[in-house]
Amino acid sequence: MPELSRRRALGTAAALTAAVAAHTLTAPAASAAPADHHHDSPEPFDEVYKGRRIQGRPASGSEHHHHGGGFEVLVDQVPLHVMRNADGTWISVVSHYDPVPTPRAAARAAVDELQGAVLLPFPAN
């Protein structure tokens, strides 16, 4: 059997390292979410903000496939129409031109914009 040279040992180590790195980059994550679960879905919330009750939760029924990506937001029990943008930000019918990072932030922005006015239901198409 030929003796192992330093060059051969380093070459073998480099090849093994490259193989492990390639496998790590292409292997599916062990903790991958099921296909029907949105891995980046927002956290539910229920709080009082400036005297208004704001809630956010996974949508049930017909709300599931609207622009909110399966998430519904309520201000004082009235649905706030929210939409997730392609870049991951959120907007609402009340603050449509001011994207925010989460549905909770969209609900808070709507409360700020309403300035005490009652949110009226938004007719869905």
Residues whose CB is less than 8 angstroms from the CB of residue 83 and which lie 6 or more positions away in sequence, other chains included: 67, 68, 90, 91, 92
pTM: 0.64
Domains of the chain by residue range: 45-114
- The CATH number of the domain covering residues in 45-114: 3.30.1880.10
Low-confidence ranges of the chain (pLDDT < 70): 1-4, 9-39, 61-68, 124-125
Instruction: Count, in order, helices (H) and strands (E) of the chain.
Output: 2, 6
33-49 pLDDT tens trace: 444 444 578 999 999 99
Structural contact between residues 71 and 57, judged by C-beta atoms closer than 8 angstroms = yes
